[in-house]
Amino acid sequence: MKKGCPFGTHRVIEPVGSLPQAAWKIDNTMEIYSNEILLDVITLNVDSASFTQMKQACGNDPEKIKQMILDIVNERGKLQNPVTGSGGMLIGVVREIGPDLKDRGLKVGDKVATLVSLSLTPLKIEKIKSINLNTDQVDIEGKAILFESGIYAVLPDDIPEKLALAVLDVAGAPAQVNKLVNPGMTVAIIGGGGKSGVLCAYQAMKNAGKDGKVIVIEKSEQNAKRIEELGLAHHVLQLDATKPVEVFEEINKLTNGNLCDVVINNVNVEATEMSSILITKDEGIVYFFSMATSFTRAALGAEGVGKDVTMIIGNGYTKGHAELSLNILREAPKIRELFESVYA
């Protein structure tokens, strides 16, 4: 049995020398190297930006989306949306563990969620069993490979697997909020009514405390109302974040011109960088979790309005993120209820 590179470069077909995420095509032969793990896949949880793009491209037709998914995986050896560049994650059962990874405390038969993106995970789909347009989840028969550096979480007993998967997919976001938000801060969550947004709003309320102020900006009335009912913000503004001047004026009014210490961007659409930047106070922080963020738009946009703000690229991983996000479900029964009704 051969040993592969910890990062998976041994499976890159094109361009050679790049890492699997940046690769155009990877080798999805389902025979493991000595430092790989083989999984029987149960469910794919497609990244929201990617699934939105697929639904648009296929006019919401499930059969066409199925075909699009199969075509991408056949062509690239992984489910990486060629337009958004993003993937998602999966749940599967451990089928084989390479001898080099025997000491990890993982065993054949364990049910795990991968915490690395599908955009770099070798995947082979035998059959798509069903597709859920509301939850972005796709049940399949198939196999996937985890590299040595690939992180995963063994699924807990007390949380249904699809619920855990939905939460783990965006686990990086509330964990980063936990790092960035301190007591007394004013925090805005753009797209706070969505999946990652709800978790971020909960964490922001907890960290900002009684002297803090959490503001959620949401486009749809329904999502805005939900946040209000759940008590996940001090203020909920129903606004379109692609209209920066409007958003700036409302937040400027609401904060008496002080603006926000921390802004978290959780939307699933393009062109919301400037709203995020304009409502951040001088020397404040913008955390872009949205995969629809454009690097140049953010960099040049901040400079263009002379804003001295720190802009962070949302890293999907930070230590303890899986535990933190699953604990939110344990601490907040109302959020668990909501997630159960929508995603599980």
Ligand X SMILES: NC(=O)c1ccc[n+]([C@@H]2O[C@H](COP(=O)([O-])OP(=O)(O)OC[C@H]3O[C@@H](n4cnc5c(N)ncnc54)[C@H](OP(=O)(O)O)[C@@H]3O)[C@@H](O)[C@H]2O)c1
Which residues contribute to the site for a copy of itself (CB under 8 A)?
Answer: 5, 7, 9, 17-22, 84-87, 115-117, 119-120, 149-151, 172, 242-246, 271, 273-274, 278, 288, 291, 293-319
Q: Does 269 contact ligand X by CB under 6 A?
A: yes
Q: Which is nearer to a copy of itself, 202 or 288 (CB)?
A: 288
Q: Does 130 contact ligand X by CB under 6 A?
A: no
The distance of closest approach from Cβ of residue 61 to ligand X in the complex, given in angstroms and rounded to an integer, is 20
Q: Which is nearer to a copy of itself, 22 or 133 (CB)?
A: 22
The distance of closest approach from Cβ of residue 210 to a copy of itself in the complex, given in angstroms and rounded to an integer, is 28
The rounded distance, in Å, linking the Cα atoms of 52 and 84 is 10
Q: Which is nearer to ligand X, 86 or 178 (CB)?
A: 86
Q: Does 299 contact ligand X by CB under 6 A?
A: yes
Are the CB atoms for 41 and 123 separated by under 8 Å? yes
Name which of residues 96 to 125 contact ligand X (CB under 6 A): none
- Tell me which stretch binds ligand X (CB under 6 A): 20-28, 175-183, 191-199, 205-213: 191-199
First to last CA, the chain: 39
**From candidates 35, 119, 223, 276, binder to ligand X by CB under 6 A:** 223
Tokens of 312: 């962070």
Q: Does 44 contact ligand X by CB under 6 A?
A: no
Q: Report residue 188: phi and psi, to 5°.
A: -110, 135
Based on C-alpha coordinates, what's the Rg of the chain? 20
